[in-house]
Amino acid sequence: MGDYDSEDILKDFYMPDYILGHGSEKVRDLSHVPACPVIVFINSKSGGQRGGDLIITYRTLLNKKQVFDLVETAPEEVLQQLYENIENLKEDGDPLASEIQKRLKLIVAGGDGTANWLLGVVSDLKLSPPPPVATVPLGTGNNLPFSFGWGKKNPGIDRQSVMSFLNQVKTAKEMKIDGWYLVMRMRALKEGSYDPIAPSGQTKSLNAFRQDGFHTFRGRFWNYFSMGMDAQVSYAFHSDRKLHPEKFKNQLVNQSNYLKLGCTQGWFCTSCFHPSSRNIAQLANVRIMRRQGQWEDLYVPRSIRSIVCLNLPSFSGGLDPWGTPDPKKSLERDLTPPYVDDGLIEIVGFRDAWHGLILLLPKGHGTRLAQTNAVRFEFRKGAADHTSMRIDGEPWKQPLPVDDGSVTVEISHAGQVKMLATPFCRSKSIHEPSSSGS
């Protein structure tokens, strides 16, 4: 592809300075309207050194003022300023501003936690119209990008690879997905701290506040919430990476280290390495909301040591824990196909890592426990002094007061956002049941 052709193609993604709030020169004609104007957010700390290199490539190809490093810039500030500027320009009669607002798309490059962060910002700002989001797989698991056809492997950082990705964004289809609130409540005790402990020291996944004598922690996820041994291994992995970043320079090494930690943490032999209190049934009573709007106890086998509340068909690096239930069993248990925009979440349990490896088989799946629009975990008093949790790849250690039986975690629907999906999308929409790729 020649330089002239490249420059011509890149015009479709380019954002002028004045639209971004820089400079005063305005365009009054529509001789060229970008077909796919983008704002690019990249976590420079993701993917070893690849995040920083990717920023350089994008800034070389596009207006460098439309490419942001999330380590340095908060996305909510960028988007708020952009939309305010566009509204002002529209009031001033600028025709390009209106067209860019209609066609705007966002690109986020990072791990699943980075994507979760940006999707939360887009949802909170209630942008109109809400821009759809494309995810670049720059983490270790990359479950969010994989769910929508963007792949699992860290992308190329050269000019040609980035241009190829941009062209995919241009032709990608929009798909809505459900978001889910997670609210954890416990009594505000006079002594001791029971704040979530993240590998970095402070979790970005949860916001804390105090109300009516209770500590409340609120987060949101788009793919999954998990609790138990799998989250414990994830916490160990992130903690090790924080202490020894030089050991985690590429995706393959990261995945190898993850597997080793799974072994050393005893996830492959939980019955030998961990007491029975590690199973979910002894840790908490699990309740689900039935379609009639009533809470009902959910039976969780005592062998289950990890529980996953799943919205997308990708977990632990692209595996699908729910799978495709037999039609007869689905009818017997009143199960529906796992759509990503149906207001329902799937609950799956695992005994150990060997159970998880079943997912590698063609019809492999975890223990299907339920489908519901709300979940509540009521922790049993004195069952454990802590547990491990994670949402969308971001783990934390959760201290539990041993003399308090009021601790709850509740999951409920949190609206929808728009994603961009390629023809290789694995997710299914209730509006297009056959929408997933092969």
CB 44, CB 51: distance < 8 Å = yes
**Which one of 171, 204, 239 terminates a domain?**
171
Mark whether 190 and 151 lie in a shared domain. no
Average pLDDT along the chain: 86
Residue 200 resides in a domain:
yes
Q: What is the pLDDT, as a whole number, of residue 26?
A: 61
Residue ranges making up the domain that contains 407: 179-416
Mark whether 82 and 213 lie in a shared domain. no
Cβ burial, residue 438 (10 Å; 0-12/13-18/19+): exposed
Pairing of strands 38-42, 105-110: parallel
**Which one of 141, 171, 201 terminates a domain?**
171
Structural domains of the chain, count:
2
Mark whether 264 and 388 lie in a shared domain. yes
Q: What is the pLDDT of residues 223-251, one digit of tens each?
A: 999 999 888 877 777 676 666 666 656 65
Q: What is the pLDDT, as a whole number, of residue 137?
A: 95
CATH number, domain with residue 367? 2.60.200
**Which one of 142, 171, 200 terminates a domain?**
171
Mark whether 165 and 223 lie in a shared domain. no
Residue 112 resides in a domain:
yes
* 76 phi-psi bin (left φ>0, alpha ψ -120 to 50, beta other): alpha
Q: What is the pLDDT, as a whole number, of residue 402?
A: 84
Q: What is the pLDDT, as a whole number, of residue 369?
A: 96
Q: What is the pLDDT, as a whole number, of residue 4?
A: 40
Residue 437 resides in a domain:
no
Torsion sign, CA atoms 158, 161, 166, 167: positive
Mark whether 152 and 222 lie in a shared domain. no
Q: Mean pLDDT, 10 residues at a time, over the chain (438 residues)?
A: 66 95 66 93 89 96 97 97 96 93 98 95 95 94 94 92 97 98 88 81 78 89 93 74 63 54 51 58 95 91 93 87 85 90 96 59 78 97 91 91 89 98 96 61
Nearest to 223 by CA among 173, 192, 172, 180: 180
Q: What is the pLDDT, as a whole number, of residue 183?
A: 97
Q: What is the pLDDT, as a whole number, of residue 324?
A: 84
Nearest to 340 by CA among 314, 310, 311, 367: 311
Residue 161 resides in a domain:
yes
Mark whether 160 and 263 lie in a shared domain. no
Q: What is the pLDDT, as a whole number, of residue 22?
A: 81
Residue 431 resides in a domain:
no
Q: What is the pLDDT of residues 86-107, one digit of tens each?
A: 999 999 999 899 999 999 999 9
CB 57, CB 65: distance < 8 Å = no
pTM: 0.88
How remote is the C-alpha of 243 from its chain's centroid?
A: 24
Longest dimension (CA), the chain: 72
Mark whether 245 and 357 lie in a shared domain. yes
Read off the tokens for 164: 């190829």
